[in-house]
Every structure is written in C-alpha cells, then in structure tokens.
C-alpha cells in the first residue's frame, strides 16, 4: 500500500511544518504497519528525514524527494539518481542563488534530486520576476536534464526520470513484487504512481474531481483515514 503524505494523509497547510498527523490517524497507520496483510510505503516530495519526522512511526518503508530516495525499514538507503545529474543540480542551485538577490524573501533549497526556489511571502512583482528569470535559466541550460514543477509558492526543478511511480515500482520489486498494489495520492506528482498501481492493483485519487488513471476517488484526507481505519481487524 503506497501512501502520499500531504493532501492524502493530512490536509494541505500553508506552512508545510503545520501539516501534522493527528494522534488518531497516526494510531491507524501504526496498526496497519503491524498487520501482516499489508506492507506500507510512504511516498512524498519532502526530504526523507522530514517525512519520517512528520510520520513519527515505527521503522517502515519510506520514499522521499519525489521518488529519489528509498529508505528501508532497517535504515538502508537507496539513491535513485546518478552522480552526473547531481552535478547539474549544483550548477542550477548556484544560478538560482543569484536570482534570489531580487528579493530578500526568496531562497533556494537543495534536495536529493531537485532544487526548489521558494517565494512564500515575497511581493507579487519580485516573485513574478524571479520565476520568469528562473524559467529562462531552465530553458537555456537544463531543459533536457531537469523537469520543472510549479507548485504552491515554490518552483521546483527535478531530475528527469525521478518519479514516485518509479520508486513505487522499485519498492514493489524489492519486496517480492507479488502483492497487489494500492496507491493513494492527490496531485500531479502522484500520477506516475497512480498509473503503476492501476497496472498492478488499484489507485485512489484524493480530490474533488478525478482526471487521472485512478479507478477510485476519495474527496479528502479525512475520507482516506476512514477507509484505512475500516481495514483494521
């Protein structure tokens, strides 16, 4: 069972650090982790350590950085990005740091397989100028190696080929590959995992309107929790 975090297990918050699991939801996940009928894997765009800190669960499978890092329950980690691609990210990070001189509120975050430019709290004028400049840099230098992902108050550049779907497939194989897959996700970064799950089981899209390959739809994280808790014996 693959589960996205933000927007799937918890409601989206303005500040990512506020998107905390309630005690009730954490108990449900804990119960499912000890149920041998299921093998759970948590898959998020967040850094792996941040994801594990938000989950605060016993050792489990987890995927961070949009699918770039797989952490096994025993702590072993797998990075699904090659060294040359990491060098490309370094170059982009340096260039984006220059863009950040447009406004003091802009900042660059380096992750395992992506670089993110944050503009929360930046006035619309400088924010627009920074995004335009970042896109220009991307088009000129990184179009072939990175994928651009505009999100809420962040523009993120991710190594091409790094997806949650690929990570889900990898975890599925590492765990024997015979169990059917169920995946829950709520946004564009989940589409690859939704497609993989539909080929090997079922996917659930979390949102009002399903425009994905998922054959099931749940309206919000609350309804995901209701479904998960109904699975407990």
User: Which residues would be at the binding site for Mg ion (CB under 5 A)?
Assistant: 4, 6-7, 186-187
**Residue 32 or 206 having the CB closest to Mg ion:** 206
Cα–Cα separations (whole angstroms), residue 97 to 13, 27, 160, 188: 26, 41, 21, 27
**Residue 7 or 165 having the CB closest to Mg ion:** 7
- Closest residue by beta carbon to Mg ion: 7
3-state secondary structure of 113: coil
Least Å from the CB of residue 7 to Mg ion: 4
Who contacts 171 (Cβ-Cβ below 8 Å, separation ≥6)? 2, 41, 61, 63, 70
**Residue 157 or 184 having the CB closest to Mg ion:** 184
Q: How far apart are CA 164 and CA 155, in angstroms?
A: 18
Least Å from the CB of residue 38 to Mg ion: 20
> Among residues 192, 188, 185, 233, which one has the least CA distance to residue 1?
185
**Residue 6 or 61 having the CB closest to Mg ion:** 6
DSSP letters, 129-144, are HHHHHHHHHHHHHTTT
Cα–Cα separations (whole angstroms), residue 105 to 23, 47, 199: 34, 22, 43
**Residue 7 or 67 having the CB closest to Mg ion:** 7
Q: Which two tokens stand for residue 88?
A: 């490309």
Least Å from the CB of residue 164 to Mg ion: 9
Least Å from the CB of residue 217 to Mg ion: 15
Least Å from the CB of residue 143 to Mg ion: 26
């Amino acid at each position: 069972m693959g589960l996205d975090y933000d927007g799937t297990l918890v409601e989206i918050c303005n500040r990512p650090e506020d998107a905390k699991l309630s005690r009730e939801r954490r108990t449900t996940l804990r119960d499912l982790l000890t149920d041998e009928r299921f093998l759970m894997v948590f898959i998020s765009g967040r850094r792996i350590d941040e994801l594990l800190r938000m989950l605060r669960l016993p050792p489990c499978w987890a995927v961070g950085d949009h699918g770039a890092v797989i952490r096994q329950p025993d702590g072993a980690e797998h990075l699904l990005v090659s060294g040359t691609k990491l060098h490309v990210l370094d170059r982009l990070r340096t260039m984006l740091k220059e863009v950040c001189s447009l406004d003091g509120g802009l900042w660059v975050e380096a992750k395992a397989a992506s670089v993110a430019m944050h503009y929360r709290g930046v006035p619309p004028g400088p924010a627009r100028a920074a995004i335009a400049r970042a896109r220009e840099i991307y088009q000129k230098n990184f179009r072939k190696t990175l994928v651009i992902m505009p999100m809420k108050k962040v523009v993120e550049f991710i190594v091409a080929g790094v997806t949650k779907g690929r990570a889900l497939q990898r975890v599925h194989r590492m765990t024997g590959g015979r169990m059917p897959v169920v995946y829950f996700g709520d946004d564009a970064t989940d589409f690859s995992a939704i497609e993989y799950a539909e080929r090997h089981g079922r996917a659930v899209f979390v949102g009002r309107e399903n425009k994905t390959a998922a054959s099931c739809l749940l309206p919000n994280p609350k309804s995901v929790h209701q479904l998960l808790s109904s699975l407990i014996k």
